[in-house]
Amino acid sequence: MKNLVIISRDWKVYKSRFEANQELQNHFILVDAGETSTDLILKQAELMIGEPDLTAKCVARCPKLDWLQSTWAGNNKLQSLQKHDYKLTGVKGVFGLQMVEYVLSYLLYFTRRIEDFNTLKQSHTWSQLPCNTLSNYSIGIMGLGSIGQELAQRLLQFGMTVNGFSRSDKSINNVNEYTYQELPKFLGSCDFVVNLLPETTSTNGLCNRQFFSQMKKHSVFINAGRGSAVDSPSSLIEALEKEWLKAAVIDVFDQEPLPNDHAYYTTNNLYMTCHTAAISDPHQVFDLFEKNAVRYCKGEPLLYEHNFTLGY
């Protein structure tokens, strides 16, 4: 029997699901559930479920920890710690549709000129502004993991030209793939650029002043990957003020929550969505934990195991 500790804001959901699963209880003992735990409990923890921002505060005090099921897709907060002597599994396969809807909502917002029509209404003006369908635009997806690939396939159905940017060749049908060495060419070919890259040494600060200056004029930048991809707010603000870009949609930030005096709040043509593009559903996360628990008990490889060497 292995000791399980749950450290999560949704701990009540996970505890309830665990207590409803007799098979799990035949293999694991739930010794604690909450948003924090005591040192005495942590010393007993062999398995853990929880958010990276909470578990990162305590994994160093878990000498017996063998497996941690993260509730997020990104695990950079755990990656940044020195302790890597345990299995860490992330969440995949549950965020794709949310991300598709998030990106699609802004693609249509700009291509169907919703803000322009609202401005006309406010000025009591009738004008039939021309609009193009998505098939007239190209989108660049930075990061072709499971979420990026699902986004690509969905947007291809709208007839969009889809360009992909990735560390390695994914050979996705009908997607034009670019390498890191081809970044300027990639940026110059896109009307929209969506960042979904993980946080690694090669992606930190990738979206800098030079990056934005190489984007197609009047294009839109959407960051739903990691806040660290943008090297500094000043780079993005300059790009918007100099009209290198039409607009930017930012869901993730280096500092969260963003201070109320941050310059982003008063930057024109910058849209903020406060890290809500794709939110973990605790029931879906627990479904994944159940599948991985079966594999764990059989000594099989776990689904979506984080590679501490690669950083994702």
Q: Which of 27, 112, 262, 275 is catalytic?
A: 275
**What is the pLDDT at residue 93?**
85
pLDDT band at 308 (very low <50, low <70, confident <90, very high): very high
Question: For 237-261, what is the mean pLDDT?
Answer: 96
Across the chain, what does the average pLDDT equal? 96
pLDDT band at 109 (very low <50, low <70, confident <90, very high): very high
Fold of 96-272: Rossmann fold (3.40.50)
pLDDT band at 74 (very low <50, low <70, confident <90, very high): confident
**What is the pLDDT at residue 168?**
86
Pick the CATH number of 2-93+280-298 from 3.40.50.720, 3.20.20.105, 3.40.50.2300, 3.40.50.300: 3.40.50.720
Question: For 39-58, what is the mean pLDDT?
Answer: 97
Question: For 91-106, what is the mean pLDDT?
Answer: 95
**What is the pLDDT at residue 220?**
98
Using CA atoms, how far apart are residues 231 and 74, in angstroms rounded to an integer? 19
Lookup result for tokens 């997607």: 175
Using CA atoms, how far apart are residues 231 and 209, in angstroms rounded to an integer? 8
| Closest of 43, 53, 48, 39 to residue 87, by C-alpha | 48
pLDDT band at 298 (very low <50, low <70, confident <90, very high): very high
**What is the pLDDT at residue 169?**
87
Q: Is position 283 annotated as part of the catalytic site?
A: no
Q: Where in the chain is the domain with CATH 3.40.50.720?
A: 2-93+280-298, 96-272
Lookup result for tokens 């990656």: 79
pLDDT band at 312 (very low <50, low <70, confident <90, very high): confident
Residue 222 pLDDT greater than 90, yes or no: yes
List of residues 6+ apart from 43 with CB closer than 8 A: 61, 62, 63, 64
b/e for 7-19, b at 16 or more Cβ within 10 A? bbebbebbbebbe
Residue 211 pLDDT greater than 90, yes or no: yes
Please give the angle made by the CA atoms of 235, 241 and 246, to the nearest 5 degrees: 95
Residue 143 pLDDT greater than 90, yes or no: yes
Q: Is position 275 annotated as part of the catalytic site?
A: yes
The per-residue pLDDT for range 152-194, each reduced to its tens digit, is 999 999 999 999 999 888 899 999 999 999 999 999 999 999 9
Using CA atoms, how far apart are residues 134 and 104, in angstroms rounded to an integer? 10
Q: Which of 226, 262, 283, 306 is catalytic?
A: 226
pTM: 0.89
